[in-house]
Structure formats: C-alpha cells, structure tokens
Amino acid sequence: MPVRELITVPDDTLRKISEPLNKVELNEKKLIKDLFETMYHHNGIGLAAVQVGIHKRIIVLDVSKKDDEKKPLCFINPVIKKISQKTSIYEEGCLSIPNTFIEIERPKICTISYVDQEGAKREMDCDGLLATCIQHEINHLDGKLIIDYLSKIKKDLIIKKLSKQKTSNRVVV
C-alpha cells in the first residue's frame, strides 16, 4: 500500500507527540517510501509520519519547483539547533487541514541536526521555503498544527467547519 490514507483535523492522532527512532530498519524504509508516494500523490511539499497515523519522528520534503527535477529529502529525528533573528512569512497550507491557508511568521534560516536513511548523523542549513517547511513538519512531530498560530475563535471556526465537512461526506452503505 504505497499511498497511505491521510489523517485530517479534528482527529486527535495529530496531537500525539511522535517518538524518536533508535534504528532505521526495513519497516521504516518502507514507511519513508510510502510517505514520499503519499506526499507526491497529494501534491504536497512536506509530510510527517504522524499524518498517516504513525508516531515516529520522520519527515519527508520536496520543495523543488514544479517543472524542475524532484529533490526528495528525508529527515529522521530532526532537531532545530539554530534559528535566525530574521523572519519570513509564508501562507502555509497543510495536507491534514484541507482548504485552509494561514500566514505564519517563522525564522528565515535554521540549522537542523538529523539522521539520514542510512542511519548517519547529519546537519543542514535551511533557508527560505525549505526552512519554513521543515519547521512546519517538526511542529507536526510535536503535535502542533498551523491552526494553533491563530486566535482561539478563528481556530474553533476552522475546526467546526472541517468537522461538518466530515459529517456531510459520511455515507452508510
């Protein structure tokens, strides 16, 4: 099952904190492959394992432009080590929150440490869209969503709207 089902708001699964990995084994490698397939299938530029219901600290990203060559990136146990004072603002969407875009200000540059798919420890400096995307995905690993950056009133409105959509799509056959 390469493309996995996405978990969406208000599912509490998204609020649970993901666990770090001790080892990258065959199971995790399969999961990473599925995460990429699921992300590309939904035209996303980032996906965390928790969004398919698996609480492991794994994220995948590809922020390459549409017609450019694909640049798949995978980060296991990512940790933000350094952030810049300078910030940037992007209008962010999320595969777990359909049809919702929120302007979020985040540090423009960040340095992260992580483990790669071969189990090696690495570091990377990230800038611009990549930095924003990584911070968004690390938020997922800690159970935090983009709607948490809004006021409570706005956040509740979005959750209400999405809950209704879920009910109206429900069919019994």
Positions marked catalytic: 137
Least Å distance, CB 138 to Zn ion, is 11
The counts of H helices and E strands in the chain are 3, 7
Confirm or reject binding of residue 52 to Zn ion (CB under 5 A): no
Least Å distance, CB 111 to Zn ion, is 21
User: Total residues contacting Zn ion (rule CB under 5 A)?
Assistant: 1
Binding residue for Zn ion, selected from 94, 112, 147, 158, defined by CB under 5 A? 94
- Give buried/exposed letters for 4-39 (b at 16+ CB in 10 A, else e): bebbbbeeeebeeebeebeebeeebeebbebbbbbb
In the numeric block, which tokens belong to residue 95? 């595969």
Least Å distance, CB 118 to Zn ion, is 26
Identify which of residues 121 and 161 has a Cβ nearer to Zn ion in the complex: 161
Query: Are residues 152 and 127 in contact, defined by beta-carbon separation less than 8 angstroms?
Result: no
Site residues for Zn ion per CB under 5 A: 94
